[in-house]
Amino acid sequence: MLPKIYGAKATGARLQRIINSPEYKEGAFQNMEPTPMGLEGASFLKVMGEMRKKPKLARPPVALPVLQPDLKAMKPVPVPQMVWFGHSSYYILSDKASILVDPVFSPNASPLRSFAKAFPGTSVFSPEDFGAIDVLVLTHDHYDHLDYKTVVALAPRVKTIVTSLGLGAHLEYWGIPAEKIHELDWGENIVLTPDHALAPGSATSAAISFTAVPGRHFSGRTFKRNQTLWSSFVLQLGDYKIFLGGDSGYGPHFASIGAQYGPFDLAILENGQYGVYWPKIHMFPEQTWQAAKDLGAKALWPVHWGKFDLSLHTWDEPIRRLVQAVEKNPAEIALITPRIGQTVSLDGPFPTERWC
């Protein structure tokens, strides 16, 4: 039997839901458009060779400037406040709910301790920093988004887990009560009333809702891929609408989501770990900017960078290229570039410091 960190396969009713999903075909979940999973334009050995000789600045040469707010002391207010923990982990707090997304507080994002180590100075947050959490959102099951030790430690503090279809098997295997876990297929939603009870029907300004929407990616914690789904989520948080972007290559799904669910007060989108050998499963910075426009976002918060080196670019290239894309192709979208640990209010003013 594999160690628990690898998770478990779905069985019984959970497996039947997967089999019944429109996205599950020929024994695996599928993207909406052709999305090669293999390396493009290079052999596996060539890419592995390049991964062993990453650029000199694949990791920052000194510890990054990280702030450490007292998360338990943060006061819920009507306008959502947000804190980024590096990579794709962040916290959203308002008087409607406290929401934690894809927390990875282990010192590396891999079952192998020698791989995907956190950048110097960034591994400073822990599950113990939080009080009660209303909703834990898990977009997909890759190790840099679903961290076994972090999730197990957080579980007693969490009221509700919202996640993609298929991840419930991992979570139950890790000892999390089934009644806390709510798996969503693309297009499905869950509505929580102000007291965080589940409620049928559509979201209103008095409620909190999560709707799973497509991404262009893949999943898997072992060699067999795409047995669980990968998603982004449309969050209606009172009067605010926020796009919680999971990992995704660029595609027409962003414009479709924008047309159906937008406009958004904020889009939180991946911006890092891209590469010319896997161009369809992660966006390049210029595509991140375009995706924000497709979604009809008023503001863009780039994540999926600043903590782990999972690609061949320098550690700060994602944010530098994104800033250049904004300057070359401006739009009426605010670009939010906070330090790790900095508290940001959705009503601004937004941090734009070129801290990297």
Taking only the tens place, the pLDDT of each residue in 78-100 is 999 999 999 999 999 999 999 99
Q: Cβ distance 301 to 322 under 8 Å?
A: no
DSSP letters for 293-352? HHHTBSEEEEES-SS---SSS-TTHHHHHHHHHHHHS--S-EEP-PPTT-EEETTSPPP-
C-alpha 115/C-alpha 101 separation (Å) is 22
3-state secondary structure of 194: coil
Residue 199 has pLDDT above 60, yes or no: no
Model-level pTM? 0.95
Those residues with Cβ within 8 angstroms of residue 259's Cβ, 6 or more apart along the chain or in another chain: none
Q: CATH top-level class for 40-345?
A: alpha beta
- For CA atoms 68, 73, 75, 80, give the dihedral sign: positive
Residue 200 has pLDDT above 60, yes or no: no
Q: Where are the domains of the chain?
A: 40-345
Q: Cβ distance 147 to 221 under 8 Å?
A: no
Count CB-CB contacts under 10 A for residue 291.
Answer: 27
Taking only the tens place, the pLDDT of each residue in 272-311 is 999 998 999 999 999 999 999 999 999 999 999 999 999 9
Residue 201 has pLDDT above 60, yes or no: no
- For CA atoms 313, 297, 251, 164, give the dihedral sign: positive
